[in-house]
Amino acid sequence: MEDKKSYLQKMADQLKEWDTKIDELKAKADKAKTEAKSDLLKQIDELLVKKEKIRNKMKQLQAAGDGSWNDMKTGVEKSWEELKGAFSKASARFN
């Protein structure tokens, strides 16, 4: 089982990767036609909200005691899956 510090570092690294992916979507949105651009920007905003939710959960996880962090980890994982699903939906518009 992975320890809390390693898990938080892995999540922080993955969030950096998502920052890059979201920036790529923003660049595609800038090149899109008006209607598609508006829709994609809305989806990007949703991604940013979900990403911020993960950051907040990670802060809570960092502050959690060693005994309760595994329970909180489940919430982070759920939020992570929501972010991945939202990203897939947003990126599908351009593939």
Answer with the residue of higher pLDDT: 37 or 93.
37
pLDDT digits (tens, 9 = 90+) for 3-59: 888 988 999 999 999 999 999 988 988 888 887 788 888 989 999 999 999 999 889
1: pLDDT strictly greater than 60: no
pLDDT digits (tens, 9 = 90+) for 54-89: 999 889 888 888 778 778 888 888 998 998 998 888
The 10 Å CB-count burial string (b at 16+, else e) for 7-22 is bbeebeeeeeebeeeb
Answer with the residue of higher pLDDT: 1 or 49.
49
The phi and psi torsions of 32 (rounded to 5 degrees) equal: -80, 160
Reported as a pLDDT band with limits 50, 70 and 90, residue 95 is: low
